[in-house]
Chains A and B, each alone.
Chain A
């Protein structure tokens, strides 16, 4: 006997209570603190800040805790929170030339002013599970020494002096704001970069990788990768000048790409650019490669039809909050549409005589 289903409200409440319990896990195990997540899962925190478009390590850590470590869910929490925040104004553009670099490497020059600084990187670690960490987490402290801050000029500037790299035109217009205006095509580069810096790391990595394997090939050298804190300044109208309101850690990647020239441009190196919140170098490098691939039109290159050259394809599918929402919505009831499909298929089968054939076969 059919009874109309009631009690969705109760079911939702119960599901939430169960979820809260599962999130906590075994209560005989100590609870994670926000500070522990912030300090010890810093790269997860960085990803959540980058793709959530909100620089706040404590909130990102809270989101990670609340989402049980599901980073896309954590990013979603941050985005939904961010969108409600009032806007006081915009900062002055950050000057990454003034970055206090924790890490700064160039793959194009063996040595260069400012030096190569490896910094805290996994790069040359052997990926062997460290069972010491399972026994106790104590680590030896790293050696330190006093240094005097030196200028760390951008690598691309050296090439620029020789005229070997494409000049980026200066543009003082206020860029469009992706979070306040609907994405419109064609998207100018400032808007593309905005979308890419908050795009899903996995998607961006896949797109970048595809250019390396020949889909819109554009051989990229990491001209420079730098990670460190930069001051954020803001003009205060009452004061009439800009003051420093804080600092953010950024990862910046500038690629130098081969370019043999086109109908409109002479042979020269070209650039791809990535700038991402936190220490997030996989994302920053990926972003730079995808940025470069998307620039085919302005450089007069051929459109090979590669996915990474297709701004509509990349930008409309790079946002994991949009993607996961739409993907997962197919869990919602669709029985009305499904019913109309059932009727249609039955009708088409009747017309095609399929039912009769089946009966004959039986």
Chain B
């Protein structure tokens, strides 16, 4: 049921136009953070208001919408955002990655490769990759315009000097088309290789921080590293207990109070599809 008191997909058309302009600018300058006049949404900042505004701005009546949080369609906040758009836009929703035309995500990229015509919308908490090196927005914007990324390399180098590894496991910074250093949102670095050369459009919305950025299809995206310490996408060294997948990102689940644990795909749609196709992991009933 659509709630007729509000415009299609909640936001008024003026606001959508303003957001679409920011998106277009973001697509034209991949990896550049475009300021936009983020609105107060009927859900709290930090709970996906940037993603929701971007989804609302790109959504049409013919779209099929999917929402995942931590890879899962049925986590509470994913349920909440999906029902928000069911209510305010009346669009079709799905949990099938392949059937969705707009996918809003928090912290994951689906395992199944996305295709041309799909849009992946990321919820972004802190869009500025340099934020924890330099808290001032006025400074970090200057650093981006001057392509002054030495500080980031020093940080990564210090990690290696101290720990032998780069001690960043999620929100791992990338460089876009050899120009802007970009925060990919807090996806595990396992997902980083999927960012580059993706067939789908990737849009990033940070509501509280009032920034939108984007990756057009088939953009060159490189995770920062050093020649002698190449980037490595890591995951738990197990297979999924339910579907047996060996190359999907896994959640660790504690199953008893004696330290027993098992590993399952974080992408619930991927896991279920595999199980339906007859794949079975060692813990499946």
The 8 residue pairs across chains A and B that have the minimum distance between CB atoms = A325-B45, A329-B46, A325-B44, A340-B169, A326-B46, A182-B35, A340-B188, A182-B210
Partner of B264, one of A4, A183, A321, A344: A4
Q: Other than the known A8-B74, A329-B47, what 16 A-B pairs have Cβ atoms closer than 8 Å?
A: A2-B264, A4-B74, A79-B40, A83-B39, A185-B137, A312-B138, A325-B208, A326-B45, A326-B125, A328-B44, A329-B125, A334-B70, A335-B252, A336-B266, A339-B266, A348-B163
Residue on A nearest B254 in the bound complex, by CB = A2
B10 to chain A: which residues have CB within 8 Å? 84
- Which residues of B236-257 are within 8 A (CB) of A? 236, 241-242, 249-253, 255
Q: Give the dominant DSSP class at B's interface.
A: loop
- B38 CB to nearest A CB, Å: 7
- A330 CB to nearest B CB, Å: 8
Q: Is the CB of A337 within 8 A of B236?
A: no
- Asked if B218 is at the interface (CB within 8 A of a chain A CB), the reply is no
Q: Is the CB of B236 within 8 A of A339?
A: yes
Q: Is the CB of A348 within 8 A of B268?
A: no
Q: Is the CB of B70 within 8 A of A325?
A: no
B74 to chain A: which residues have CB within 8 Å? 4-9
Residue on A nearest B75 in the bound complex, by CB = A333
Partner of B47, one of A12, A332, A348: A332
- Asked if A134 is at the interface (CB within 8 A of a chain B CB), the reply is no
Residue on A nearest B263 in the bound complex, by CB = A339
- Asked if B76 is at the interface (CB within 8 A of a chain A CB), the reply is yes
0/1 interface trace, chain B 127-163, chain A, CB 8 Å (1 if under)? 0000000001110000000000000000000000001
Task: Give the A-B contact count at a CB cut-off of 8 A.
Answer: 152
- B contacts with A, residue count (CB < 8 A): 66
B45 to chain A: which residues have CB within 8 Å? 321-322, 324-326, 329
- Asked if B170 is at the interface (CB within 8 A of a chain A CB), the reply is yes
Residue on A nearest B187 in the bound complex, by CB = A336
Please list the residues of chain A having a beta carbon within 8 angstroms of any beta carbon in chain B.
Answer: 1-2, 4-9, 11-12, 76, 79-80, 82-84, 86, 179-186, 312, 316, 321-322, 324-329, 332-337, 339-344, 347-348, 351
Q: Is the CB of A351 within 8 A of B164?
A: yes
B80 to chain A: which residues have CB within 8 Å? 12
- Asked if B42 is at the interface (CB within 8 A of a chain A CB), the reply is yes
A351 to B283, CA, bound (A): 30
Residue on B nearest A5 in the bound complex, by CB = B74
Q: Is the CB of A339 within 8 A of B250?
A: yes
A9 to chain B: which residues have CB within 8 Å? 74, 79, 83
Residue on B nearest A15 in the bound complex, by CB = B76
A182 to chain B: which residues have CB within 8 Å? 35-38, 210
Known: A343-B169, A344-B169. A329 touches B189 (CB 8 A): no
- B158 CB to nearest A CB, Å: 14
A86 to chain B: which residues have CB within 8 Å? 12
B241 to chain A: which residues have CB within 8 Å? 2
A82 to B70, CA, bound (A): 32
B188 to chain A: which residues have CB within 8 Å? 336-337, 339-340
- Asked if B16 is at the interface (CB within 8 A of a chain A CB), the reply is no
- B138 CB to nearest A CB, Å: 5
- Which residues of B95-112 are within 8 A (CB) of A? 106-108
Known: A2-B264, A336-B266. A184 touches B165 (CB 8 A): no
Q: Is the CB of A340 within 8 A of B170?
A: yes
Q: Is the CB of B251 within 8 A of A339?
A: yes
Residue on B nearest A179 in the bound complex, by CB = B37
Q: Is the CB of B47 within 8 A of A325?
A: yes
Q: Is the CB of B46 within 8 A of A327?
A: yes
- B271 CB to nearest A CB, Å: 8
Q: List 27 A-B contacts (CB under 8 A).
A: A2-B241, A4-B271, A8-B75, A8-B78, A12-B79, A12-B80, A76-B44, A84-B12, A182-B37, A184-B35, A312-B138, A321-B44, A325-B49, A326-B208, A328-B46, A329-B44, A329-B47, A332-B106, A334-B70, A336-B170, A336-B249, A340-B190, A340-B234, A342-B252, A343-B234, A344-B169, A351-B163
Q: Is the CB of A80 within 8 A of B77?
A: no
- A256 CB to nearest B CB, Å: 31
Q: Is the CB of A183 within 8 A of B210?
A: yes
Residue on A nearest B45 in the bound complex, by CB = A325
- Which residues of B249-285 are within 8 A (CB) of A? 249-253, 255, 262, 264, 266, 268, 271, 283, 285
A86 to B250, CA, bound (A): 47
Q: Is the CB of A325 within 8 A of B165?
A: no
Residue on B nearest A184 in the bound complex, by CB = B35
A8 to chain B: which residues have CB within 8 Å? 74-76, 78-79
Residue on B nearest A87 in the bound complex, by CB = B14
Q: Is the CB of A83 within 8 A of B76?
A: no
- A102 CB to nearest B CB, Å: 31
Q: Is the CB of A2 within 8 A of B283?
A: yes
- Which residues of B1-40 are within 8 A (CB) of A? 6, 10, 12, 35-40
Q: Is the CB of B76 within 8 A of A336?
A: no
- Asked if B235 is at the interface (CB within 8 A of a chain A CB), the reply is yes
Partner of B251, one of A80, A324, A325, A336: A336
A351 to chain B: which residues have CB within 8 Å? 163-165
Q: Is the CB of B44 within 8 A of A324?
A: yes
- Asked if B41 is at the interface (CB within 8 A of a chain A CB), the reply is yes
B83 to chain A: which residues have CB within 8 Å? 9
- Asked if B71 is at the interface (CB within 8 A of a chain A CB), the reply is yes
Residue on B nearest A348 in the bound complex, by CB = B163
A343 to B233, CA, bound (A): 12
Q: Is the CB of A1 within 8 A of B285?
A: yes
Residue on A nearest B71 in the bound complex, by CB = A336
A324 to B43, CA, bound (A): 12
Known: A335-B70, A336-B108, A339-B252. A347 touches B36 (CB 8 A): no
